[in-house]
Chain A
Amino acid sequence: MEVLRTENLKKYYDQSQIPVKAVDGIDISVEQGEFVAIVGTSGSGKSTLLNMLGGLDRPTEGTVFVDGKDIFSLKDEELTIFRRRKIGFVFQAYNLVPVLNVYENIVLPIQLDGNEVDKDHIDEIISVLGLSEKTQSMPNQLSGGQQQRVAIARALATKPSIILADEPTGNLDSKTSQDVLGLMKTSCTRFRQTLIMITHNEEIAQMADRIIRIEDGRVVMKGGALHE
């Protein structure tokens, strides 16, 4: 079942006379439960693409369908609410809220929605991610790997159907990277979630079901070519 699809997605920036084509007509489709890696050199437009997939940024042209819904037909506020229910984000820089402790950071998206926390679900995520000892700690007391695990927990907390991760292991050493990726894969399988991840690490990309390669804002290779 298709969970995400883009149609002729374009993002142009015209900062100077010459417009910069960050994303230049991308059509992709992702199935539910799939693990997709988006790879490309820096400046190839992968982060811009991911931002648009999550509705963080509006495209110049084209649109994104999540669960068959055109997300850019939504107003800003509706889009935000849609996003916090459907999509989880994991960033390279973790981006935890410094004034909240680990547990509060994880449940923040739920509480922003005004919903009661599904305690069992959260406890499960916390234990899967190995954060049980750290729930009361403040972010500045955690190591990079721990912070990224909190960020992942936060992305999983609302049981989103899609997780978008932008180089989640970019700041981590290779051992920790493996651990974190393993955990992400495990939890996605477990909670039946779709994972779309940006990386420029071929090794990590190999772990994905499918690799989409982007250059100059266009898809140059699609589908599980590597698996063939």
Chain B
Amino acid sequence: MNSVNNRGCINNLCRKSMAANRRRNIILTIAIVLTTVMMTTLFTSGGSIMRSVERNTMYQVGTSKQAGFKFLTQEEYDQLSGDPEVHDLSYNIIVGEILNEELNEDYTEVRYTTEDAAECGFSLPETGSLPEEPDEIATCTSVLDAFGVSHEIGEIIHLKISNGFDEYEGDFRLSGYWEKPAATMANEIYISKEFQEGFSPAWRNKADKDRFIEANSFAGSVNPGFNFSSRYDLSGQMAELKDRLGWGDEINDGVNWAYAANTFDPTTAAIVLIILLLIMASGYLIIYNIFYIAVSSDILYYGLLKTVGTTNRQLRRIIVRQAAMISSIAIPVGLILGYFVSVVLVPYIMSNFNAGDSEAIADIRIFAASAVFSWLTVRAGCIKPCRIIKKISPVEAVRYSEYAGDKLSTKRKTHKVTVTSMAWENLKRSRRKTILVVLSLALSVIVINVTVSVISSFDKNLYVKNFAATDFMVADGSVISKNYQDMDYEGVADTDIESLSRIDGVTDIGAIRMSETLQLMEGKALDRMAKTYKEHPDWFAFSEDHKAAVEHEIYETHSIDAHIYGMDEFPYENMEIDAGEIDWEKFRTGKYVIVSSPVESGNGKKDAEYAFYQIGENAIVVFPDGTEDEYEVMAIGDIPYAMGPEHSHGLDVYFTLPMGEYLRHIPESGGAMKLFFNADEAKLEAVDDEVREYCEVTKPQLGYTSRMTYLDDFKEMVRMFLLVGGALSFVLALIGVMNFINLTVTSINERRTELGTLRAIGMTGRQMTQMLRMEGVFRICLTFAFVLTAGMLLNHILVNLIAGQMMMFSYKFVIWPVLACIPIFTAISIVVPGMAVREPIDMSYSN
């Protein structure tokens, strides 16, 4: 077969066709730009959220490496470094434990680290450098603060370090420091290689290892982190690696769950998917319609090309090439604009995801994905029009043009001809184009309605209830800001309670006091704890390190962390009870205690079964001063998370006593942990002002939250939905209207001769404009007929998909946005044809 080089010829035809259709190209360009803008914004926002959640998880894990081992010997490390699948290998070596009292409350590790390991562990000094001299250290600002030294290179810190066998005490000079991400738990102190080798040399072999483990110390252990060649199925890759190395369970391994975790919750995933489909549908509808209109109005031209021997493939290339030429400009423009839109939009969206970073990411993969999806949309829009060209025969093409395409009946009963009836008949003639425009417009109206429905379905009371059971909560500033390092759980003094309760408008008021103690577990309680731990070790231990500590408590010391709460009647009413009946009158006698269950799945009775102390039994509660008292367990339950100290120890137990009994045993209590009160609805704002005044001026160390704060958060979230939904529906509406304008204008242009004839035989300009307007009005009528039937069903489904899972969701049927759109769209349908015929229909066209 001969291969003919006709590419130049086709390209030429293509360019000519482009040049001849300037207006169409502009509309097409705008449509593709808008589609790409939406696509880029969606992917950038989605990617930013994912990255931010992933980052946050990495901070919690403490590294960005995909996998790692703990407590290896130098021998094992060398073996690992020879494996071909292990990349970016780096390590740190544990030097010992800090004995300084200043760091009692903060878990602090002393290590030697390679620069890469520090960088991946988010602990590379931002100021200064890693230590090189044996008397140098680098650490995070939290440690500097704990020692009370200023953030300056060269500061001297006195450290006491133990490696399990020996202790070292001496002064170190600060060589570098960094700010630890809030989500990272442990503090690090990095020390030079020289010091590490001198004080805690790396374990050479199994014998070294066993000796240290025996002494419950990990000093000298090598902790490598590394990446695999792919980030997927890390557990599988890890298992294979261990097989290759011949390592068993005795080697402590871990994969970074930031990579494994599903960073998208189902709601977000549903929203992203729905938006993606909407964008593609809307883009498809307009691009399809533009090409369809273009093809049907140029059908004579294509018929002619066919007659002279252009093949279907070549004709298809003319269409697709035009689409490609326009896309090659429109898609990059859309990507850039989309990125800028994201820069504005992402911080708003992120503020609702409680994630660290909130900047839009600029990732080549995201741009590539947006470009690919936009092109797919464009290409999909070309399929049908190409098929039409393929089907049409050269002879038919002539007829096709004359009667504008769609099927007409061969015979029809005679009706009185009016402007309206002619408009309706014309509409039937361009059935497919009308359907595309109707769907395109309907899409935007439905999205507007869905947006408003979702927002209306957010119940602010449900939302606020989740965070605050009461109107106001006052506590020490450290408690409010969740500054775990230095929390004062007795910050609200009796005088504060007195003053606040006197504020006009405050109705119910009550406090919760708390003491942290160690509870000695005995008898049945101890048995239950051990049994539960055996069944569900993951409930109590966060990590391997923590596991050792937990087991130490369960099997050796038998004493676990405990909170003792003293309750006033008002907050007591909000207790979350899993099992048993509570009765304030009985409870206040001080003979009873409410005990927490170690699991909080929200499963009531089921959770209660795991409680270490069961209803009716006697619990001996150990108070901070070491005294004990015995109480009958009245119920299994806990105070709501938001009313408590908002932390847990993994393995712990909480005892709730009435305030009187609490103070009888802990008379030295300096104040309440949290004070709760409600206010008269009408005086809410006035009370809010006074409470703020008190917490900012009178006693600035206090902080408070009010229902108003959460209402603001709620408004913030509503604003996000409004912004995202509004922006989306605006762009969709823009595309829909463009589709409408394109159809209106081209249908007028296509019918110039016909309209000219009508003018010649006596249709006045008014009648003509009226007829064209009626066509538009009918299209809008069809749009709303569709929206009000199938659209409302779709609305219902989408609203439930998007917001159904949210805690503050209570479905409300909303229809006013649709109704509000009717006059707007009708106005457009009236204005557009008027503008299209402003350039008057030349009557001599009829000739």
Contact = CB atoms under 8 A, between A and B. Distances in A.
B422 A100 contact: yes
Interface in A86-136: 88-89, 91-93, 95-101, 103-104, 107-109, 111-113, 135-136
Contact of A154 (B402, B761, B767): B761
A97 B758 contact: yes
A138 B408 CA distance: 8
A107 B761 CA distance: 11
A80 B763 contact: yes
Interface in A41-99: 47-48, 51, 54, 56-57, 76-77, 80-81, 83-85, 88-89, 91-93, 95-99
A111 B403 contact: no
A6 interface: no
A92 B847 contact: yes
Given A51-B844, A95-B846, A80 B759 contact: yes
Given A99-B422, A100-B425, A136-B414, A81 B764 contact: yes
Interface in A140-165: 140-141, 154-155, 158
Interface string A159-192: 0000000100000000000000000000000000
A107 B417 contact: yes
Contacts of B414: 101, 103-104, 135-136
Nearest to B413: A136
A185 B17 CA distance: 46
Given A77-B766, A112-B763, A154-B761, A140 B403 contact: yes
A138 B425 CA distance: 12
A76 B844 CA distance: 14
B757 interface: yes
B399 interface: yes
B426 interface: yes
A29 interface: no
Contacts of A48: 844
B847 A51 contact: yes
B233 to A, nearest CB: 63
A137 B410 contact: yes
Most buried by A among B422, B426, B429: B422
A191 to B, nearest CB: 17
B410 to A, nearest CB: 5
B417 A104 contact: yes
A140 B414 CA distance: 16
Nearest to B755: A97
Nearest to A155: B761
A32 to B, nearest CB: 21
A51 B756 CA distance: 12
A166 to B, nearest CB: 6
Contacts of A89: 760-761, 846
A97 B415 CA distance: 14
B416 A140 contact: no
Contacts of B415: 104
A115 B148 CA distance: 100
Contacts, number: 116
Nearest to A105: B417
Contacts of A135: 414
Contact of A57 (B412, B425, B844): B844
Nearest to A101: B412
Contacts of B404: 98
Contacts of B412: 101, 136, 138
Interface residues of A, number: 43
A47 B846 CA distance: 11
B843 interface: yes
Contacts of B761: 84, 88-89, 108-109, 112, 154-155
Contacts of B428: 99
Given A99-B429, A111-B418, A138 B844 contact: no
Contacts of B429: 98-99
Interface in B438-481: none
Given A95-B757, A101-B411, A112 B846 contact: no
Given A95-B846, A136-B411, A54 B760 contact: yes
Contact of A91 (B399, B766, B846): B846
B762 interface: yes
B700 interface: no
Given A95-B846, A104-B417, A138 B410 contact: yes
Contacts of A97: 422, 754, 757-758
Nearest to B429: A99
B688 to A, nearest CB: 67
Interface in B723-777: 753-754, 756-767
Contacts of A138: 408-412
A56 B844 contact: yes
B417 A100 contact: yes
Interface string B384-413: 000000000000000100111000111111
A174 to B, nearest CB: 22
A93 B764 CA distance: 21
B762 A113 contact: yes
Contacts of B408: 98-99, 138, 140
Given A154-B761, A166-B847, A140 B402 contact: yes
B783 to A, nearest CB: 22
Contacts of B410: 137-138, 140-141
Contacts of B413: 101, 136
Given A91-B846, A138-B411, A140-B403, A111 B764 contact: no
Contacts of A56: 759-760, 843-844, 846
B399 A140 contact: yes
A93 B843 CA distance: 14
A99 B412 CA distance: 10
B411 A137 contact: yes
A76 B426 CA distance: 25
A103 B422 CA distance: 14
Contacts of B763: 80, 84, 112
B425 A99 contact: yes
Contact of B765 (A80, A88, A137): A80
Contacts of B846: 56, 89, 91, 93, 95
Contact of A80 (B411, B416, B762): B762
A111 B766 contact: no
A38 B813 CA distance: 71
Contacts of A101: 411-414
A26 B762 CA distance: 26
B764 A77 contact: yes
Interface string B705-719: 000000000000000
Contacts of B764: 77, 80-81, 112
A89 B429 CA distance: 25
A158 B762 contact: yes
A212 B77 CA distance: 110
Most buried by B among A57, A83, A84, A97: A97
Contacts of A113: 762
Contacts of B767: 112
Contacts of A108: 417, 758, 761
A189 B178 CA distance: 107
A46 B411 CA distance: 37
B757 A109 contact: no
A111 B765 contact: no
8 contacts: A56-B759, A77-B765, A84-B761, A92-B847, A95-B756, A99-B422, A99-B426, A136-B411
Given A108-B417, A111-B418, A138-B411, 13 more contacts: A51-B843, A51-B847, A80-B762, A80-B764, A83-B762, A91-B760, A91-B847, A97-B422, A103-B414, A104-B415, A111-B416, A112-B767, A136-B413
Nearest 3 Cβ contacts at the A-B interface: A84-B762, A95-B757, A99-B425
Interface of A: 47-48, 51, 54, 56-57, 76-77, 80-81, 83-85, 88-89, 91-93, 95-101, 103-104, 107-109, 111-113, 135-138, 140-141, 154-155, 158, 166
Interface of B: 399, 402-404, 408-418, 422, 425-426, 428-429, 753-754, 756-767, 843-844, 846-847
